[in-house]
Structure 1
């Protein structure tokens, strides 16, 4: 895991799926936070830079795009996690 929670871990747990596997994150998490608290990377760079964890973290770039069933491609850094979301790292 890349992201380690140090505080505020008492929030309700929310189930979702990441690349078809069951996962959990906390209420109020963005998809980016939920993914990085579950997996060791957000995506693999298509330009040979290796694993990526997002770039700007504020919705200004395209580095954190993921697929959400029913929504299409979304920015993981500005999209709040909802219960039952099916997320695929692109």
Structure 2
């Protein structure tokens, strides 16, 4: 199986800071997985998108109107299976 890793932040902080933070988070995740014995060639990419792909209305214009929980929804990482994994199933919980 080959995966790609994407990390995201909330909108608090500058766009440049958030892009760097999420990119570091994605690369740290990749490095951790490799340190646990997964071959590096099984990770296609590790990219941070900062605040570019928010899940809700908590952008720069609305960030003061959002609760901590709403901001938390935007701080996340995704793992996508891009090759292999034929016997893997997922569910949304």
- Same fold (TM > 0.5): no
Larger Rg: 2
- TM-score w.r.t. the length of structure 2 is 0.23
- Larger relative contact order, structure 1 or 2 (CA cutoff 8 Å, min sep 6): 2
- As a proportion of its length, which structure holds more helix? 2
Higher strand share: 1
